[in-house]
């Protein structure tokens, strides 16, 4: 491993960590009302506006970092875009995989993770604010970090099949670890979810398809809480 590659990995790890902290900053205004028991609709609207402003600023920083990473990739894998038909075909297959994951999770009845319990508690106290950030804010910010920046910094040569597979596996493990403990029974759900989203990204080469799939997953989860 060359010194340049090691330096790139270290810079990537630092950038991802810093931008992940920024994403947590964007999520904080949506969490405060639940923590402070400010459950009224006006309070949720007020913190919703704050969440929107902070999220836009964080999105701008993430988008600049993502675009900069794409511009400096070598080889330029993402310059060779697949056809729109191929993208939609991949998305359709990944939607089926997501449905299979949801069905499997329901059949296994694995214990809810701490992350899921926290979201459910927030939904009970501030449902509209939790719904707003969980469905619209989190998918955009998380996909730019966990898929966009991750593959820009750590898995550049995606024209090689084994690199794609390794990247998808590592990405799934990272996604699971940041949402729960890898050694807990529920970790497999987050791992498979991360792998599905990573597969969508490397096959479509279009972050918008990941964001849309993540949006659909979170929307379904929030809808399930409503009923």
Cα–chain center distance at 45: 25
Please, which pLDDT band fits residue 93 given cuts at 50, 70 and 90?
very high
pLDDT digits (tens, 9 = 90+) for 42-59: 888 888 888 889 889 988
Mean pLDDT of all residues belonging to the chain: 83
Among 28-37, 74-83, 163-172, 218-227, the range with the most confident prediction by mean pLDDT is 163-172
Question: Angle 169-5-58 (CA atoms, 0-180°, nearest 5)?
Answer: 65
- What is the token pair recorded at 151? 């593959």
Average pLDDT rounded to a whole number, residues 119-147? 83
Q: 51, 135 in Cβ contact below 8 A?
A: no
Phi then psi for 40, rounded to 5 degrees? -70, 155
Average pLDDT rounded to a whole number, residues 125-142? 84
pTM: 0.87
Residue 89 has pLDDT above 90, yes or no: yes
pLDDT digits (tens, 9 = 90+) for 182-196: 887 778 888 999 999
Q: In the chain, pLDDT over 70 holds for what percent of residues?
A: 91
Higher pLDDT, 46 or 225: 46
Q: What 3 state SS string does the chain have?
A: CCHHHHHHHHHHHHHHHHHHHHHHHHHHHHHHHHHHCCCCHHHHHHHHHHHHHHHHHHHHHHHHHHHHHHHCCCCCHHHCCCCHHHHHHHHHHHHHHHHHHHHHHHHHCCCCCHHHHHHHHHHHHCHHHHHHHHHHHHHHHHHHHHHHHHHHHHCCCCCCHHHHHHHHHHHHHHHHHHHCCCCCCCHHHHHHHHHHHHHHHHHHCCHHHHHHHHHHHHHHHHHHHHC
Among 29-33, 109-113, 123-127, 198-202, the range with the most confident prediction by mean pLDDT is 198-202
Task: Report the C-alpha dihedral over residues 158, 189, 227, 45, rounded to 10 degrees.
Answer: -60
Long-range contacts of 58-63 (CB under 8 A, 24+ apart): 58/22, 58/23, 58/25, 58/26, 58/141, 59/26, 59/140, 59/141, 59/144, 61/19, 61/22, 62/19, 62/22, 62/23, 62/141, 62/144, 62/145, 62/148, 62/149, 63/144
């Amino acid at each position: 491993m060359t010194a340049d590659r090691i330096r790139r990995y270290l810079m990537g790890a630092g950038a991802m960590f810093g931008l992940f902290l920024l994403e947590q900053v964007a999520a904080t205004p949506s969490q405060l009302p639940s923590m402070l028991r400010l459950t009224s609709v006006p309070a949720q609207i007020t913190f919703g506006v704050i969440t929107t402003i902070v999220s836009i600023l964080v999105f701008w920083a993430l988008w600049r970092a993502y675009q900069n990473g794409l511009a400096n990739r070598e080889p330029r894998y993402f310059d060779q875009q697949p056809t729109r038909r191929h993208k939609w075909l991949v998305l359709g297959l990944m939607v089926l995989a997501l449905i299979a994951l949801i069905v499997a999770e329901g059949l296994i009845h694995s214990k809810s993770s701490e992350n899921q319990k926290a979201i459910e508690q927030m939904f009970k106290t501030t449902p509209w604010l939790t719904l707003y950030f969980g469905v619209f804010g989190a998918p955009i910010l998380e996909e730019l970090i966990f898929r966009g920046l991750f593959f820009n910094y750590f898995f550049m040569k995606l024209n090689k099949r084994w690199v794609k597979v390794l990247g998808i596996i590592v990405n799934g493990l990272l996604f699971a670890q940041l949402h729960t403990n890898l050694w807990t029974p529920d970790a497999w759900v987050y791992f498979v979810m991360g792998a599905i989203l990573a597969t969508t990204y490397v096959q479509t080469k279009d972050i918008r398809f990941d964001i849309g799939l993540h949006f659909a997953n979170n929307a379904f989860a929030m809808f399930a809480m409503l009923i």
